[in-house]
Amino acid sequence: MQRICTAIVLIVAVYACPSASRAAENCARWEQQIQTVQQQMRRSHTAAQGNRLRARLRDLRERVAHGCR
């Protein structure tokens, strides 16, 4: 019984906390996406597209601020 409980705890710990390399991959991907959105914002677009781009940029910056620093 103790082995089963220990195994369950280990499985939960592995899935609840992403590894450092996974977190670094996420951060790098988000930073790249921020650059892409910023490039898209420099081009002409409709008001609706601009609003979506600004919302996406806010979301990405929030993810980086909370998950990468």
Please check the confidence at residue 4 and state whether its pLDDT lies above 90. no
| Count of domains for the chain | 1
Q: Is residue 47 part of a domain?
A: yes
The boundaries of the domain holding residue 45 are: 19-67
The percentage of the chain sitting over the pLDDT mark of 70, rounded to a whole number, equals 74
Q: Is residue 1 part of a domain?
A: no
Cα gap 56→28, rounded to integer Å: 16
Q: Is residue 14 part of a domain?
A: no
Written as one letter, the residue type at 17 is C
Give the model confidence (pLDDT) of 29-57 as tens digits: 999 999 999 999 999 889 999 999 999 99
Question: Average model confidence (pLDDT) for the chain?
Answer: 82
Give the model confidence (pLDDT) of 6-26 as tens digits: 545 444 444 555 578 898 999
Cα angle for residues 59, 29, 58 (degrees, 5° grid): 15
Q: Is residue 11 part of a domain?
A: no
